[in-house]
A and B are shown apart, each in its own frame.
Chain A
Amino acid sequence: MNELKRTPLRDFHAAHGARLVDFAGWEMPVQYRSILEEHKAVRRTAGLFDVSHMGEVDVRGPEAGKFLDHLVTNSVARLFPGRVLYSPMCYPAGGVVDDLLVYMHGTDDYFLCINAGNIDKDLAWIRGEAAKFNVTVTDRSADYALLAVQGPRAAEIVQSLTGAKLGLVKYYHFTEATVAGVRCIVSRTGYTGEDGFELYHATGDAQALAQAVLDAGTPRGLELAGLGARDSLRLEAGYPLYGHEITAEISPLTAGLGWTVKLDKPDFIGREALLREKQNGGPNKVVFFKTGDRRIVRAETPVLGADGAVVGHVLSGTLSPILNEAIGSALVATPAATQPLAVDIRGARLGLQLVTPPFVPLKKS
C-alpha cells in the first residue's frame, strides 16, 4: 500500500483531536468533534477547512485563454483579471474529466484548482490537450496549501487578519493580499453554500496561517471542520461532487449543470456530444431528494419507480443537520424522473420528495 500523503497541517489536525482518514490517498481530517456540530457551525458562524490536498496548476502563455476555452465547457473568454470561473472539463463523449476553478491573473496567466483525487489524471489530460497550443502547464500542487474559511462570519474573521478591503472582493472574485503576515491568493469561493474565502498560500506558511485564523475565529464561533461536514454542506447546497453527481459517465447536462456548458462557444471538448444531449435529451437525469425520515439513504441504494421496478440509484446521501432529515441525489432514467420515486431501507419503503436545491436557504454574497 502506498504511504498516505499529508498536508502541512497533518500534525495540527491531530493536535486538535481530528479523526484522520484516507481520502483520495491523503491522510485528511474527516471530523474533529462532531460532523453534525461542525456543519451547523459553518451555517451559523464559521468553519475552517484544510483543503490543501486540492491540486493547483498554472497555465501560462500567449494562447492560455484560447486553450482553456477549448479545455473546459464554461466561458473562459468572459473572465477578466481577478475573476474566478467554475467549470466542468469534459471528455469528447460529454462525460466529466473533473470540475475545477479557473482563476485569471492576466491574459496569458491562469491558475486552476482541481480535485485531489484527480490530480494525476487531470494533468495528463490537460498536458495532452495543451500540446496543440502555445501554453505551458505547471503542476503547483506541492507549492500551495489551501484553507477555506466558510460561514456567515467568515468575512469578518478574515478581514480581522488583513488590511486588504475584502468588501471589494465579490463572490467568485479574488485578490492577492497578506493575511496574518502570509502572502495569499484570497478568493471569495468555497463549496459549502455559505459566504467565505479560500486562502492559497505557500505550504511552509500553512501552520501559522491556520493558527491565526483559528485564534481570530474561535471567539467569533468558528470551529475546525473536516471533510465529513464539507460533504454534508455541499450536498445541502446542491453542489455536485466529482465521482458522485458528475463522473466520466454523467455529463454536466445530466447533472443539471447546464449553466456551465456554453454551447454557443464554437469549440470545446465534448461540445458535439453535449449539443446532441441538449437537443435529444439524455437517458438519465440527476435529481435531488429528501425523505422526511432520518434514515440516511446511502450511495448505490436502488431507486424504485411507481411500479416498484428499479429506475436508478442514489449518488450521494446524508442527513441534513439543518433539516434533520435524509437528503440525497440520485441518477434516474429520464422518463421516471417525473413519477413517484421510492427507496427501500431495511424493509421500509420511503418515498422520495424531489427538491430543487439548495435544500436550505443560503446567504452567500
Chain B
Amino acid sequence: MSNIPAELRYAKSHEWVRPEADGTVTVGITDYAQNSLGDITYVQVPKVGAVLKAGETFGVVESVKAASDVYAPIAGAVLAVNTALESAPETVNKAPYTDGWMLKLKPADPAAINGLLDAVAYAKVAE
C-alpha cells in the first residue's frame, strides 16, 4: 500500500506538489512511483531558471529497470533543484516526499494547483 500524504496534491503522471507558505511549490515523485521503478540510480533535473509548461518533461528518473520521464505538474520557473540527488539518487526511494524532492517552482498561475488531484483521487490512480 503506497504512502499518499493528504496534504499534498498530485499529477496523474505520479508527481507530487507541496504548496509552500511563500507561494512556491516543491515537486517530487510519489511513493507509488518510486516503488514501481525500483532502485533509482540516476536523477536528471533541469537547470535553475528553466521555465516549464504544465505536462512538459522536466527530467528523467532512471532505475535499474528503466529510464522514465518526469513531468511538470504545473507551469512555472525552476527556483531550485535538489543537487544532493546527483550523488545519492536512492534518496528518492528512501524519502520520496522529503529529502527526495526534485525541484522548487515559482508557479506561473498559483491557482493551477487546484486543478491537480487530491490524495483521495490520486489513490485511485495509484491502485
In the complex, what distance in Å separates the CA atom of A34 from the CA atom of B62?
14
Task: Give chain A residues whose Cβ lies under 8 Å from the Cβ of B90.
Answer: 36
Nearest CB of A to B89, in Å = 7
Interface residue B108 (Cβ < 8 Å from any Cβ of A) = no
The chain B residue sitting closest to A318, CB to CB, is: B64
Contact B64 A228 (CB under 8 A): yes
B62 touches A35 (CB 8 A): no
- Per the CB 8 Å criterion, the residue count for chain A at the interface is 14
Given contacts A36-B64, A232-B64, A346-B60, contact A296 B44 (CB under 8 A): no
Q: Which of A19, A31, A294, A346 contacts B41 (CB 8 A)?
A: A294
Q: Please name all residues of chain B whose beta carbon is closer than 8 Å to the beta carbon of A296 when the two chains form the complex.
A: 41-42, 62, 64, 67
Given contacts A294-B89, A296-B67, contact A34 B39 (CB under 8 A): yes
- Taking CB atoms, residues of chain A closer than 8 Å to B60 are 346
Which residues on A sit within 8 Å (CB–CB) of B42? 294-296, 319
Instruction: Give per-residue flags for A288-332: 1 if the beta carbon is below 8 A from chain B beta carbons, else 0.
Output: 000000111010000000000000000000110000000000000
Q: Is B38 an interface residue (CB 8 A)?
A: yes
Q: Is A295 within 8 A of B62, CB to CB?
A: yes
A interface footprint on B77-94 (CB within 8 Å = 1, 0 otherwise)? 000000000000110010
Of listed B38, B41, B60, B93, residue having the most chain A CB within 10 A? B41
Instruction: Give complex CA distance A31, B65 in Å.
Output: 11
Residues of B within 8 A of A228 (CB): 38, 64-65
B residues less than 8 Å from A35 (CB atoms)? 38-39, 64
Which of A34, A296, A346 has most chain B Cβ within 10 Å? A296
Residues of B within 8 A of A319 (CB): 41-42, 64
- Find residues 105-123 in chain A having any chain B CB closer than 8 Å to their own CB: none
Q: Which residues of B contact A346 (CB under 8 A)?
A: 44, 60, 67
Alpha-carbon gap, A34 to B44, bound state (A):
21
- 22 intermolecular pairs with C-beta atoms under 8 Å apart: A19-B38, A31-B38, A34-B38, A35-B39, A36-B41, A36-B90, A228-B38, A228-B64, A294-B41, A294-B89, A295-B42, A295-B62, A296-B41, A296-B42, A296-B62, A296-B64, A296-B67, A318-B64, A319-B41, A319-B42, A319-B64, A346-B67
Residues of B within 8 A of A (CB): 38-39, 41-42, 44, 60, 62, 64-65, 67, 89-90, 93
